[in-house]
Amino acid sequence: MDQKVKTVSILGCGWFGLALAKRLITLNYTVKGSTTSPEKLGILQAENIQPFMVNFTAEAVVADLTFFEADTLFICIPPKRNSNELKSYPDKINAIISAAEHRSKNVILISSTSVYGDENKIANENSETNPDTESGKMVLAAEEIFMTKYPSDFTIIRFAGLIGPDRNPGRFFAGKTDVANGLAPVNLIHQNDAVGIAVEIVEKSAFGRVYNACSPNHPPKMDFYVAAARETGLEEPQFIPEKTSWKIVESINVPEFLEYDFEVGV
């Protein structure tokens, strides 16, 4: 372990954040974890994660600020689907960054490959960001605030669609018919690899760049989701075999700077 990084704070110990915290604990890091639910404090403590209540709005962060005193801070707060909360997402990220300033040595923002639009081409970390969803636009706005605050040493992980425990992809389209765009390639990443890439950045102190975190396998949507439904005994969806709008998310930086080998193929 790189001796420069000993303490990691994870803002948002949800589906990804808690899995990341557990992995870091096994690697002997001191891990602080945040939640907005008092009942979850005991769950964190039971995993040897130092528990903190952290609440945040677009205006302010309400927390014991020692939470932010860390060698590395992960911001794992996805935007909410509610339209009003979605619009306030960039301001929430700005409030969090302000609270972390001068306290966290390295800050990693968890983002999304939704910042790339479906422009019928391959997108890597050097590609133009042109989101075509409202959520993607808000995520990109949060990234831009983050990059402005840390112009020379920002670290961003853009996750593709996350699958894994309690996120069975077979359920996404189960039983649906005439699902459009069946030949479009999928862009997904398993929780094991999402955590693995995040850990590698910390272990190798590979801060200061954007990472696309996406499986290198991109089967057609109809092949992947029909197989996923079949494997779990769900009704198979029926797709229209067409390829209208699509993208393939690739990474230049994950192989070059992390030399990461994916554990789970899609």
Local structure of 202: helix, strand or coil: helix
Give residue-wise pLDDT tens across range 238-253. 999 999 999 999 999 9
The CA-atom distances, in angstroms, between 148 and each of 77, 90, 130, 153, 154 are 19, 12, 18, 10, 9
Handedness of CA 133, 138, 139, 140 (dihedral sign): positive
Closest CA to 75 of 39, 104, 102, 53: 104
Closest CA to 97 of 137, 61, 139: 61
Prediction pTM value? 0.94
User: What contacts 100, CB < 8 A, 6 or more positions away?
Assistant: 68, 73, 107
pLDDT of residue 152: 81
List the beta bridge partners of residue 189.
162
Give residue-wise pLDDT tens across range 49-101. 999 999 988 788 889 999 999 999 999 998 887 777 788 899 999 999 999 99
| Pair type for strands 50-56 and 61-63 | antiparallel
pLDDT of residue 42: 95
Question: What is the residue whose two structure tokens read 């995520």?
Answer: 139
Give residue-wise pLDDT tens across range 102-129. 999 999 999 999 999 999 999 999 999 9
Question: Could you tell me the domains of the chain?
Answer: 7-165+188-218+247-258 (3.40.50.720)
Give residue-wise pLDDT tens across range 185-214. 999 999 999 999 999 999 999 999 999 999
